[in-house]
Amino acid sequence: MILELNEHPSATDFRIILDGVRSFNRDQTGNAPPRAVAYFVRDHGGRIVGGVQGSLWGRSVHIDALWVDTEYRGAGYGSQLMKAIEKYAAEHEHPLVYLETTSFQALPFYEGLGYRVFGELPEISAGHSLFFLRKDTSAEDQ
């Protein structure tokens, strides 16, 4: 056996690891691998100016990314995107929503949507913390 460092692993090599983890998880839980779902905001020309992507798995959806172009921030698109993906996930039996955000990103935004911090990694970057948040939409009226 050889332990080998690769500072630039290929997508193919990473896929072997990911497939191994997913196979183990499926054997333990019976759940299919995560499935991506996304909502987008487009301008009148069809250009994506915002979006949210999540990964559905088990009873949960992990919010992989939420982004709204600077020009469109503050107009409610982020809230609309989050509510839409939460509703979709809940309707498809994924009521537990979780995500990460850093102290310089959107902690107050997510807390305003009903998310609660369940963990923190201080100094993830100099002077900044990483927060882990969750929300159980089964406890809400959707």
Tell me whether residue 89 is in a domain.
Answer: yes
**Residues spanned by the domain of 132:** 33-139
| Dihedral class, residue 99 (left if φ above 0, else alpha if ψ from -120 to 50, else beta) | beta
Return d(Cα 91, Cα 142) in angstroms, integer.
Answer: 9
Q: What is the pLDDT of residues 77-135, one digit of tens each?
A: 999 999 999 999 999 999 999 999 999 999 999 999 999 999 999 999 999 999 999 99
Tell me whether residue 54 is in a domain.
Answer: yes
Return d(Cα 126, Cα 103) in angstroms, integer.
Answer: 11
> What predicted TM-score, i.e. pTM, was given to this entire model?
0.90
Q: Which residues contact 74 (CB under 8 A, 6 or more apart)?
A: none
DSSP conformational letter for 7: S
Tell me whether residue 69 is in a domain.
Answer: yes
CATH of residue 91's domain is 3.40.630.30
